[in-house]
């Protein structure tokens, strides 16, 4: 079974520039998550999708971060404009959904390491 | 609100000796708890999970954890460390409410295994 795919693996940009990350979940997983992991901390959920709808985006800084999952499969996370404090690893995860709820194991991709200079 | 506290940021053991990674949780509800492992440049992998069944949970690679409600603890153990166990370990609690499946991570414990 193919895992969660993410690209790019590494990205270096200057502050105030824009950047986008891509995620392709495991086939058949209706729920997709984006996490931010700052160095020395545990991952923090930014947004959760179920199919193409948003379930939880309470911790997404909406003034600069946006995410979409238009066809309910792959997803993009965008930062515009980037700040120094956005330097982190951005992790995508997916999980199987049953009965309309996602209470199952989350499978994580390798992450995208973003450095903002 | 749910939270977890990992009591050690770094743990160093010798190969072949026991491993103990400590985690305390805070939850208003009966929690769902997990341990994830993160090897360098690799994705997070689930080691084991507790979801209100048996209090002693066995996971992959010889790891296990015991849920102790009286101590609000969920410590991770392994009888004998292997070099390949060197990684960062996260204690995690599932958030509650609606359809959210939010995972709330601790700050991590970096395990070093000395030869």
What pLDDT does residue B1 have?
A: 78
Instruction: Give the pLDDT confidence score for residue B78 in this predicted structure.
Output: 98
- Kindly list the residues from chain B whose CB atom is less than 8 angstroms away from the CB atom of residue A50: 99
Please say if the pLDDT value at position B110 is more than 60: yes
What is the arithmetic mean of pLDDT over B71-89? 96
Output the pLDDT for position A24. Answer: 96
**Nearest C-alpha in A relative to B103:** A45
pLDDT of res. A100:
59
Burial status of residue B58 (CB atoms within 10 A of its CB: 0-12, 13-18, 19 or more): exposed
User: What per-residue confidence (pLDDT) applies to B97?
Assistant: 62
CA gap B10, B115 in Å, rounded: 17
- pLDDT given for residue A70 in this prediction: 82
Regions of chain A where pLDDT drops below 70: 1, 99-104
CA B7, CA B2: separation in Å to the nearest integer?
16
Contact A110 B45 (CB under 8 A): no
The secondary structure of residue A2, as a DSSP letter, is: -
Residues of A in contact with B49 (CB under 8 A): 105
- Contact between residue A57 and residue A77 where contact means Cβ atoms under 8 Å apart: no
Minimal CA–CA distance to A68: which of A46, A49, A91, A94?
A49
Element (H, E) at A7: strand A5-7
- Give B94-103 pLDDT, tens digit per residue: 877 655 678 8
What residue ranges define each of the domains in chain B, with the CATH number in brackets? Answer: 3-114 (2.60.40.10)
Exposed (0-12), middle (13-18) or buried (19+): which is A31, by Cβ within 10 Å? Answer: buried
Q: How far is CA B51 from the centre of its chain?
A: 14
Q: List pLDDT tens digits, range B14-72.
A: 999 999 999 999 987 888 899 999 998 788 999 999 987 788 999 999 999 999 999 99
CATH topology of domain A5-97: Immunoglobulin-like (2.60.40)
Q: Do A91 and B108 touch (CB under 8 A)?
A: no
């Amino acid at each position: 079974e193919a895992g969660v795919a993410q690209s790019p693996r590494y990205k270096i940009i200057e502050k105030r520039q824009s950047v986008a990350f891509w995620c392709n979940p495991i086939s058949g997983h209706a729920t997709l998550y984006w996490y931010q992991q700052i160095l020395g901390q545990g991952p923090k959920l930014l947004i959760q999708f179920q199919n193409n709808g948003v379930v939880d985006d309470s911790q997404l800084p909406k003034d600069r971060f946006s995410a979409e999952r238009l066809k309910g499969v792959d997803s993009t996370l965008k930062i515009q404009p980037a700040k120094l404090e956005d330097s982190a690893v951005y992790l995508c995860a997916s999980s199987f959904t049953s009965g309309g709820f996602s209470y199952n194991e989350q499978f994580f991709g390798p992450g995208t390491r973003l450095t903002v200079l | 609100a749910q939270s977890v506290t990992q009591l050690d940021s770094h743990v160093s053991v010798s190969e072949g000796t026991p491993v103990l990674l400590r985690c305390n949780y805070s939850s208003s509800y009966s929690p769902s708890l997990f341990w994830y492992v993160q090897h360098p440049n690799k994705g997070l992998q689930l080691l084991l999970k507790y979801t209100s069944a048996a209090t002693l949970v066995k996971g992959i690679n010889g790891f296990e954890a015991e849920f102790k409600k009286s101590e609000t603890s969920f410590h991770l153990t392994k009888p004998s460390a292997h070099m390949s166990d060197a990684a960062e370990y996260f204690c995690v609690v599932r958030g509650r409410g609606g359809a959210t499946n939010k995972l709330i991570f601790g700050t991590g414990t970096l395990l070093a295994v000395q030869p």
